[in-house]
Structure 1
Amino acid sequence: MLSPAPDRDLPAGDQLIKIWFKFVPREGWLPYDTEGLWAVAAGHDTARICNVPFLQDGVAEGDIVRFTTDLDGLRWATGRVEASGNCTVRILPKPRGPLGPSDKAVYDRLAPFGIGGETFSKELPLVAFTVPASADFPAVKATLLRGEAEGWWSFEVGCATDEWEAA
């Protein structure tokens, strides 16, 4: 199970809950089939996601998801009910590329856009970013594509909006 630490600007106190997502692991990728994301209850069976997913596709920070609670008290997502307009982008720096395996170098390249993210681990510097709906999507995409073309990193978009796709 994968559950990132709540080390970013998450709401404090008892209102934080964990929402679990189950998926089929991708071949050649991390061997997880679940991911836990922090959330704030939005209703009796809905919650607003409060951190960026490393593995789960189709959801972004700020989205509202519906969940069911199992007999062990775990809350399992059953689907997204309201999109935030945010996008999820994951970047893996190329260890032998110009930036090396540095998550800090990745953050530095995206800092001008005010984009927040989380790093998976120092051993695997996979960085997952939330690109807010208010961001300059064309400029962010241009930076991502430039970084890939220049061998800085590989990236994938885990959750995109129509506005992102059109940019």
Structure 2
Amino acid sequence: MTKLLLSLHVIAAIVAVGPVTVAASMFPPSARQALAEPGSERAVSNVRLLHRICRVYAGVGIAVPVFGFATAAAMGVLLDPWLLVSIALTVAAAIVLVVLVLPRQEELLDALGKAEAGGTASSGPGAGTATFPDRTATLPDRTATLPDRRTTARLAMYTGVFNLLWATVTVLMIVRPGSTTGA
């Protein structure tokens, strides 16, 4: 049973966490491209797809700790220090993803959506005015301007922290300090 649980845990990690790390890493440069090409529907749809992958697979990723706890219980290692550190790092990675990465991706998508709807504004006359197909609305200047490169750079940094936390958990799972398996 332990081998089955461990296999499910590893498969869940590959299938769920892998796509999130890749899509989240691809998001900032794709968002920069979409921001640089405001009229490009393809660039915006790429960013939307990457965000959807992050959201969906983050939800699927809940299977990883579920199978992980079941495996650890079956192996009798629930209180081993390497596992406790791995659990803490996994919680930290989840917090980074849910609190820092996904909301900032959504903010960038909102900004791109406003740009697509004609909601971008440049400095000068008419700044803050968005033209929509049926009406004209005045938007506050902070929502009418597109994010700058610092916004996507900050998102890339948070994504890097998320990926580094997962890489550390992976190494701990393989090396398992104090393990008697010789690995």
- TM-score in terms of structure 1 length: 0.23
Larger RCO: 1 or 2 (CA < 8 Å, sep 6+): 2
- TM-score in terms of structure 2 length: 0.21
Structure that is richer in strand per residue = 1
Larger Rg: 2
Structure that is richer in helix per residue = 2
